Structure 1
Amino acid sequence: MKIVLALAAATGAAAFTAPRTAFTARASTALDANIVDTLAGLEGPGQVWGADGIAVGKEESDLKGYDGFGLFCQRLAETGVGANLASPGPYTVFAPTDTAVQAYEIMNGPLTADAIAYMVISGAVSSSAISSADLTTVNGKTLTYSRKFRKDFVNDAIIGEKTFGPFADFPTDVACDNGVIHSVGILLSE
């Protein structure tokens, strides 16, 4: 009886094997999203209530929401820089969160094309290679890398900043078809 069951299982399994063909498929490496498209759907770091939460019955460490990149995407479209970032590239973009764009615009006025171009470098540079990379922006200016307090900085912005609590950190090394995105909590400025 055991032999009959073993033969039935073996012949049944053989019926489900795929036939061999000369065609072999290769996995696509395209992400089907350029930098602007990726930024539009990217979720930023988690934000906690902090002291404001106490007044509304929340713990300081409760999640309030996630920051995004909608304002930066809007400014990319308004200034025309977004059209450039849709080209083949590759580029590395230090993308400020909505909170960072709001803070900048309160102090300095609307974000300009020149200010945005200061946050874009030619070539795809991973966060682990920033320390030795050429950090010349697309408008010909140079960014400054430094390492202090066990953190990597480009100008005054922390790359790979960790957030408070167990929530999402600032995304880095976000791959796109035409480059890479590193999010930052403040705008890079001269």
Structure 2
Amino acid sequence: MRLFWLLILSCSLQPALSTQTVHRWVDSNGVVHFSDQIAAGSASETIEVNPPAPSSTPVTTITSSDSDMATAAQEPQAQPPYDITLQTPLESETLRENSGKVHFSVAISPPMTQPFQLQVLLDGAAVLRVPNQLAGDLENVDRGMHQIVIKLLDENGKILASTKETTFYLFRVSVLTQPNHQAKPKAGMN
């Protein structure tokens, strides 16, 4: 029924839309008027108007369900921007671990909802990949100053985010610096 009334309305508007003659006149107050009818008792100017040329672009009607599909087809699934921060070790922290084990942990925001990996770079070299975990351990790290960067990777290896470079210090006791605990006899005592 709605379609019927739309058809009637469009047919009734068709003569008005196809009108090609416009009349222009100025009333006694100086106001300019335009109309498709000649004004009684005033001198009007006739203007010929050419209708616009039909568009060569086809018109497509999109329903709401079609528009959702069209939008999804046009735009690739955008991943939210992730932020990854190093929780441990902290900047300029000194770790005391004789075995050389360095524990690291990160926080990711927003939380990951898909498989991921953490790639650990120690002093610029990739040394470890940890799947789907926010923490791990580096083994047998030499004593001294180190820089650590952890990159968040998606399941295909694409980098999603990276921590800033963090410097930490690892203290490991050396056999050369261990104190001698044996009691030595004092000189001159018998």
Question: What range is the shorter-chain TM-score in?
Answer: under 0.3
More strand by percentage: 2
Q: Which has the larger radius of gyration?
A: 2
State the TM-score, normalized to the length of structure 1. Answer: 0.23
Higher RCO (C-alpha 8 Å, min separation 6) = 1
State the TM-score, normalized to the length of structure 2. Answer: 0.23
